[in-house]
Structure 1
Amino acid sequence: MKNCISILLLLLPMLILGQIAPGVYTASENLENGKRNYQLLITDTYMVHTVYNSNPAKFISTMGGYYTVEQDSLKVTLEFNSDFEQNGEREFRAIIGFQSGQLVFNENASLPYTRQPEVAQPLDGLWLFATRGPDTGQERRGDSAPRKTLKFLSDGHFQWIAYNVETMDFRGTGGGRYAADEGTYTEVIEFFSRDDSRVGAELSFEFERKGADWHHRGKNSKGEPMYEIWSLR
């Protein structure tokens, strides 16, 4: 009974809120060759979970969508699933809890997720690609469109995902660390589903917040000039 009470006390903060505290959670395990990394980006309603290897770099999988927590059960209605062609899953469920302050899934205490330090920056949030710049009244791709490119920025971590919510067609993803300060936005790529050789690259851009829009200028990963406008979701 004493052990049961201790477990309940560890779970209590999450159960009262009905959610996992927003932020970035990471876990890792050593492989025979390199390391496998697990990353959870989460708000109070939306989450993205990604698995990738480092040394050598290799993208493994990603999935994400809107979620709910009921008691110790996490349910995610998936908007994208990089393994959809293999498993056909549009929903993800897991048992969640906390052990020694770390998040665990399905009672897998050997793979605890640690919440990363909060690093608030002016671009933190969920963004959807809207249009190419400059903003001269051209048609925008809204949230109602099935084809989306989502960018999730939180506590110094970023990830973009291109997908179709109706067909579950997964088009690609990439992510890593970022910083946004005084009009300069910098990314360091830690995983990239389309080209593992791009891992480690550092890209810098100009950015400007205009209300609910993020204007993003610079050169893409191929060195080509780009001007994108993203809108807060």
Structure 2
Amino acid sequence: MNFRKFFAHAVAGLLLGSSTALTAQIEPGVYISNEDGVRHELKIGKDYFIHSAYGTSPPKFIKTVGGFHTLGDDLLKVDLEFNSNHDENGLTELAIPILVKNKKLVLPMDGELEFVKQEPVNQALDGAWLFATRGPDKGQERRGDENPRKTLKWLQDGRFQWIAYNTDTREFFGTGGGSYTSDNGKYVENIDYFSRDDSRVGATLDFDYELKNGDWHHSGKNSKGEPLYEIWAPRK
């Protein structure tokens, strides 16, 4: 698939719903498409949009883009906060026409890709989080939304993704994602893609978590086996 060609165009087609409708709407959730060994994953919130693609056999990270979206006149506009291929295509925004077609989400990209909406799964920790600081909390300086250097973690319907980027310089530092569970103080990630090292795909990471004053305290060992303690703040 020619993904560079796709991102060379700021306008992409996104078709949703039935074949005729006056106003298209996008229901928040996770949408999946599998085509020729490549998995496309859309995470759509009330005002945020993430699109990631990765090979499944063999495992290979391809790309990710995301940012705040608005919907009007059947056009989804995305102001990109991150674009893993920014150095190549320079894209900072997307304008995606929205139509309705047979209750399916279709993304034309080297042909039509049909996306299936995943069943909602409500778990503890669902939502958008920004990395704040290394724990434990001793009143140290925290990184907030006003800081251009961000690490975003998005948890929705049993899928997770973290993305590290800089909104001022447009630098992209890395991403990873897959499936997760969070229950009774235990958080488990199953890695499906990892931009920095494809060999880590398939790993399962177990962590302890605790919510304190609205923050997510997260401890265990990272994908290298090194101990970590992180504090994440909800992104509002």
TM-score (norm 2): 0.88
Whether 1:157 and 2:159 are equivalent positions in the alignment is yes
Secondary structure of the equivalent of 2:19? Answer: helix
Aligned to 1:62: 64
> How far does residue 23 in structure 1 lie from its aligned partner after superposition?
1.1
> How far does residue 108 in structure 1 lie from its aligned partner after superposition?
8.2
TM-score (norm 1): 0.90
Whether 1:24 and 2:26 are equivalent positions in the alignment is no
Structure 1 unpaired stretches of 5+: 1-5, 15-19
Distance 1:92 1:131 in 2: 32
Q: 1:30-70: per-residue Cα shift (whole Å, max 9, x none)?
A: 2xxxx101001111001111010101000000010000111
Structure 1 74/108 Cα, relative in aligned 2: closer, same or farther at 3 Å? Answer: farther
* Contact 2:178-2:193 at 8 Å conserved across structures: yes
Alignment of 1:114-153 (within 5 A): 114-153=116-155
Distance 1:25 1:135 in 2: 36
Identity in percent: 55
Of residues 106, 127, 146, the one that matches 1:104 is 106
Secondary structure of the equivalent of 2:152? Answer: strand
Structure 1 111/225 Cα, relative in aligned 2: closer, same or farther at 3 Å? Answer: same
Distance 1:65 1:139 in 2: 26
Distance 2:20 2:46 in 1: 21
**Alignment coverage as a number of residue pairs:** 218
Q: 1:193-226: per-residue Cα shift (whole Å, max 9, x none)?
A: 0000000000000011123210000000000000
Structure 2 unpaired stretches of 5+: 1-17
Distance 2:145 2:72 in 1: 27
> How far does residue 105 in structure 1 lie from its aligned partner after superposition?
3.0
Distance 2:63 2:74 in 1: 24
> How far does residue 13 in structure 1 lie from its aligned partner after superposition?
5.9
Whether 1:230 and 2:232 are equivalent positions in the alignment is yes
Secondary structure of the equivalent of 2:199? Answer: helix
Q: 1:81-134: per-residue Cα shift (whole Å, max 9, x none)?
A: 000000111111222233222112359883111110000001100000000000
* Contact 2:23-2:73 at 8 Å conserved across structures: no
Whether 1:8 and 2:20 are equivalent positions in the alignment is yes
Aligned to 2:74: 72
Secondary structure of the equivalent of 1:134? Answer: coil
Aligned to 1:193: 195
Q: 1:175-210: per-residue Cα shift (whole Å, max 9, x none)?
A: 000000110000000000000000000000001112
Distance 2:71 2:117 in 1: 18
Of residues 29, 45, 55, the one that matches 1:53 is 55
Report 1 or 2 for greater relative contact order, CA contacts < 8 Å, sequence distance ≥ 6. 2
* Contact 1:98-1:104 at 8 Å conserved across structures: no
Q: What RMSD, in angstroms, separates the aligned Cα atoms of the two structures?
A: 1.6
Secondary structure of the equivalent of 2:114? Answer: coil
Query: In proportion to residue count, which structure has more helix?
Result: 1
Aligned to 2:168: 166
Aligned to 1:113: 115
